[in-house]
């Protein structure tokens, strides 16, 4: 779930720029990453859902009402899809250079 932070960060940043959520809330959301992973895991096991426990964990560590704005207006599927794309992009960054090295000798 490490990449789930990136859709959250980007979403909060853009929403603040557009005036959808308060700037302070966006900054607080983006600043927090010290979640209780054990509690998240227990909740994920209990609910069979990955995003709701994540939202609760972020809300728990955010100061003031900033946690209320986490993933504001985005569905769980939106966040899962964005996280999947980021994981694919990250994997491609590792795979592509090696694949190019493997293909290059074959072309001679």
Q: How far is it, in rounded angstroms, from Cα 53 to Cα 77? A: 14
The tens place of each residue's pLDDT in the chain, 108 residues long, gives 444 556 777 888 899 999 999 999 999 988 876 778 888 889 889 988 888 888 888 888 889 999 889 888 888 888 888 888 888 988 999 999 999 988 887 665
Q: How far is it, in rounded angstroms, from Cα 5 to Cα 46? A: 22
| Domain ranges for the chain | 2-106
DSSP string, 74-103: --HHHHHHHHHHHHHHHHHHHHHHHHHHHH
Locate 23 and state its tokens.
């700037």
Query: Top-level CATH class of 2-106?
Result: mainly alpha
49: CB partners within 8 A, 6+ apart: 76
Q: Is 18 helix (H, G, I), strand (E, B) or coil?
A: coil
């Amino acid at each position: 779930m490490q990449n789930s932070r990136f859709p959250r960060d980007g979403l909060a940043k853009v929403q603040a720029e557009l005036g959808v959520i308060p700037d302070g809330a966006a900054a607080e959301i983006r600043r927090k990453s010290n979640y209780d992973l054990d509690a998240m895991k227990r909740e994920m096991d209990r609910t069979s859902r990955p995003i709701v426990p994540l939202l609760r964990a972020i809300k728990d560590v955010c100061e003031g009402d900033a946690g209320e704005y986490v993933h504001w207006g985005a569905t769980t599927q939106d966040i899962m899809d964005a996280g999947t794309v980021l994981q694919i992009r990250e994997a491609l960054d590792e795979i592509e250079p090696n694949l190019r090295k493997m293909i290059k000798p074959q072309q001679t």
